[in-house]
Amino acid sequence: MLFVLLVALMTMGLSEMVSNVAAVATVLPLAYNWGAVLGVNPVLTTLVTALAGGLAFMFPMGTPPNAIAYSSGYYSIADSVRAGVLLSLMALGVFLLVALTYWPLAGIR
């Protein structure tokens, strides 16, 4: 559980600053090696890293839709961060709930 949380947080944090693909490409080799040392299933490691990479909501550079919405000029970075923190926390909660309940039922441990 702690491994899943740490990898998800690291991927989400990096994904806020760079593209989602770049964040996953950077974190996945590290997480894969850490998972191998800890005896974690490689499928679980890959799923955690790949899915958490799509949970960037705070900054306009996190995803193209955020950048498009920000370019309209109707809100500021501070507005984006306020809403993004709430969305990121909710997304992390749902992500962890699914990882802890559904994935073991699907055989991913």
Reading the block at residue 44, the tokens are: 């679980």
- Please give the angle made by the CA atoms of 41, 27 and 3, to the nearest 5 degrees: 45
pLDDT at 6 over 80: yes
Q: Which of 96, 7, 5 is nearest to 50 (CA)?
A: 7
- Identify the domain containing residue 87 by its residue range: 2-105
Element at 41 (helix H, strand E): none
Q: What is the pLDDT of residue 67?
A: 84
CA distance 49 to 43: 10
The answer for residues whose C-beta is within 8 angstroms of residue 10's C-beta and 6 or more apart is: 27, 31
pLDDT of residue 104: 87
Is it the case that residue 10 has pLDDT exceeding 90? yes
The predicted-structure confidence for 16-68, as pLDDT tens digits, reads as follows: 888 888 899 999 999 999 999 999 888 889 999 999 988 888 888 777 888 88
Question: How many domains, the chain?
Answer: 1
67 CB contacts (<8 Å, ≥6 apart)? 60, 61
